[in-house]
Structure 1
Amino acid sequence: MSDWRTPRRVPPSTSSAPPTSAMPRSRRDGSRTLPDMGRTAPRWEGRLVREFGSKRMKQAAAAAVAVCLLAFPAGAQTLRDAVEGAWRLNPEIRSLEARRGQAVAQRGAGESLVPAAPAVTLRHITDMVGRNVGRREYEAEVGVPLWLPGQGTATVRAADALLARTDAEIAARQLAIAGEVRTALWQIALLERRVELARQRLAVARRLEADTKRSSKAGETSEADHQLARGEALAVAAEVRDEELSLEEARQAFRTLTGATVPKATPEPLIGEQPLDRHPALQAARLGVRSAQAQRQLVDLTTRDSPEVGVLARKERDVRGERFDTIVGLSMRIPFSVDAVNALKRAEAATEVVRSEAEQANAERTIETEIRQARLAHQAATERLSIVRDRAAALKGRLSIVERARKGGEISLVEFVRAQEAAFEAELARATAEIQVGAARARLNQSLGVLP
């Protein structure tokens, strides 16, 4: 008997290693024998697996790149691209396109042969609940409505006027969207310039802080000067952060408006005198009057419902056993005109004409005022740019003089900081004036009804 304290010696097992027959065996041609069925896997099978895997990886990588590209907004190369993107995203385009489809359908209805669909009337008469002698009567009638005199032509004219009005309103709305994009673009350009100047000012303030810190440690200046420079640098850093936040918010709003990134703001070419009749907003107002007048003419001609002419066929007999007699005839339905009903329609049409005429007069006054204001603003912006350029150059020269005086110990750091702030404010005013000239030129083109 073996003692339980003595560990039992386990003989080595031969099952831990796979049998020789289960291991893949290499062959001279480079293939190997599979252990399951002993078949041989040629070289091309491994190559096919590798190629298939590589193809799947390429497809997955391409899909990932496509998803990443879709996640970012499309880039707008020019202002015109941004305007087109904003137009595609504008919700009013659907309503205007629907109204255009309505005008096309109305024109097609006016060109049709009949104002409404024909109707079939079926009638059956019997005496089953009465004498019941076999009287029967079967009648079928086809009625076709007819146009009132001049109604079809008036319908086509009203549809054409509505179609022209809708196209003009589409052009006017596109111009209004272009104005929104122009304003947003130049606002972003101004914010970008402000951020750039603020960062330059921050770099100068930090250099001044470092200089005062070094000179303070060396005992050349007081610690108060260093703290003053440090406070100025921190204040400028806060201003930079505020300007960057405003810029990012403006860019996000531009992406929401256009669905694209912000293009570079370049000054638009000056457009000479444009005929006022070609302004899209004024054309839309005038065509609105024409459409209202055409609709009123159609209402004046439609004083009653459409008359109807019909063809009928009847089969009848008086008593049971007789042959059915066939009768063919014509019918004419002529509705009467009711002034109480027509008065309301005429009043509504006349009200629309008066409203559209008032809108046309208001549009003419508004457009003329906007053009005059835009010209004055452009002239004032140009003159202001010349003034602020001279001021910026003068204060920049003064800053150089003050800086040399500070290095020579002639003036205090407070005076230098004041001169520096004045120079940066003048530079900011110059950059703002340059942006305002471009914005004023865009506003002038917008008032003249010129698209980018």
Structure 2
Amino acid sequence: MDPSRKSISTDALSARKRASAARSWFPDGPTVSGLYMDDHFIGSHVGYTTYQGQISVPLWLPGQGSATEEAALADEKVAAHQQQVQKLTVAVHVLDLASEGAVLSARISNQEIVSDVLGRTMSDVERALHAGEVSNTDYEATVTEKEDVDGTLAESRQRLENIRAELESLTGTDTLPDLSGIDGRGLGPVGSQLDPEHDPRVQLAESALKQAQASYSVARHSYMPNPSLGVILSRQEQYQSPWDTQIGVEFQVPLPSEARNVPMVMKEVQAVGRAERDVTQAHRQIKAEYRQLHNQLTTSTQILQHARQLRVHSDRRAADLAEAWQVGEIPVIEYLRARRTALTAAERYAQADIVMRATIARMILMSGNIP
């Protein structure tokens, strides 16, 4: 569904046809010219009339045809690598949306649970308030906490719908990809394949360099305008003329000019220089990105372990304080703080889990294993 893929496919087809056209005998179409002269137009009565026709074709300069074909084939390879880069770009975008959507889904689930718990707590506090067991301040604190969670829940649902809409524009469906099945087992075959040299972005930069070099070769072989070879047929109608019909050969060779050649060649030299710069930058950026991915995977694994322990102990503490509040051992505000801490810990755990799985998925994508 990516519209840019169709455009890139058109570029590849165009380059393929240009390569085929470069195999033709002549670099351009033939030129036909005609000439007619008659002395009657100037008032003469000698009867001198000339008819002349000419057809000529341009000729390839040495090496120009093969250089033009190689340049077109280089354009086709660039288009092929652009297809791979575009596919990777869309895959990473979908992964980012899936990751953000998964975090929001887990956050919504946790917030819904807490909202239900706070709803029951608010009912209990309201009954206790009417019985004179708690102050109005405790009741207001419970209502405030419940409203805050519900407001955050509504915002999370809205953000999730926005992500679903954007995902549908990319894939045609608003169903979030399931990241729960992605774990460290998928990294087994990836380790040997995660090489910057195999990254499609590096390959695109290198193919763009070859394309610039091929265009430079065309410019070097086009050091002068193409010569032309033609045939001339002339008929002269003159009184008692023995040479009334003639046929001949014409050959035109435009001479080279620095005013034409130097700007053309230097333009391609600049393009080669920019392409070499892009290749160097691509290698450095991809290498740094791979290093960051490895570090992020190690860090996210450690964060996930800590977040898991934090969630477990926060849930236990919230449950213990809930019982303590029910029997009147602590004020409700302490329980609300513990419930808020437990919610934050659950959200941190969900985010750490998704970050770890998304990092693994990104490494799989970078290795070329795009589903």
Q: TM-score, normalised by structure 2?
A: 0.92
1:326–1:296 CA distance, 2 compared to 1 (3 A): same
2 CA distance for matches of 1:405 and 1:196? 26
2:298 match: 379
2 CA distance for matches of 1:410 and 1:422? 20
Runs of 4+ in 1 over 6 A off after TM superposition: 321-324
2 CA distance for matches of 1:139 and 1:116? 23
2 CA distance for matches of 1:242 and 1:129? 91
1:150 match: 63
Equivalent positions of 1:50-449 (< 5 A) are 88-90=1-3, 92-130=4-42, 131-266=44-179, 267-268=181-182, 269-270=186-187, 271-274=190-193, 275-319=195-239, 325-449=244-368
Is the 2:216–2:268 contact (alpha carbons within 8 Å) kept by the matching residues of 1? yes
Is the 1:378–1:444 contact (alpha carbons within 8 Å) kept by the matching residues of 2? no
Deviation at 1:120, TM superposition (A): 1.4
Is the 1:367–1:447 contact (alpha carbons within 8 Å) kept by the matching residues of 2? no
Is the 2:318–2:342 contact (alpha carbons within 8 Å) kept by the matching residues of 1? yes
Is the 2:64–2:221 contact (alpha carbons within 8 Å) kept by the matching residues of 1? yes
Deviation at 1:323, TM superposition (A): 7.8
Q: What is the root-mean-square deviation in Å for CA atoms of aligned residues?
A: 1.9
Deviations 1:266-315 (A, max 9, x none): 24432223233221111111111111111111110111111111112221
Deviation at 1:217, TM superposition (A): 3.2
**Stretch deviating more after TM superposition (384-393 or 264-273):** 264-273
1 CA distance for matches of 2:101 and 2:253? 68
2 CA distance for matches of 1:225 and 1:160? 76
1 CA distance for matches of 2:215 and 2:140? 78
2 CA distance for matches of 1:89 and 1:444? 23
The structure where helix makes up a greater share of residues is: 2
**Stretch deviating more after TM superposition (185-194 or 261-270):** 261-270
Q: Tell me, what secondary structure is at the counterpart of 1:379?
A: helix
Is the 2:102–2:176 contact (alpha carbons within 8 Å) kept by the matching residues of 1? no
2 CA distance for matches of 1:239 and 1:123? 86
State the number of aligned residues. 363
Is the 1:185–1:262 contact (alpha carbons within 8 Å) kept by the matching residues of 2? no
Return the letter of the residue paired with 1:108: S
**Stretch deviating more after TM superposition (171-180 or 383-392):** 171-180
Q: Which has the larger radius of gyration?
A: 1
Deviations 1:31-78 (A, max 9, x none): xxxxxxxxxxxxxxxxxxxxxxxxxxxxxxxxxxxxxxxxxxxxxxxx
**Stretch deviating more after TM superposition (102-111 or 265-274):** 265-274
Structure 2: give runs of 5+ residues left out of the alignment: none
**Stretch deviating more after TM superposition (270-279 or 328-337):** 270-279
Q: Tell me, what secondary structure is at the counterpart of 1:371?
A: helix
Return the letter of the residue paired with 1:379: T
Percent identity between matched residues is 26
Deviation at 1:440, TM superposition (A): 1.7
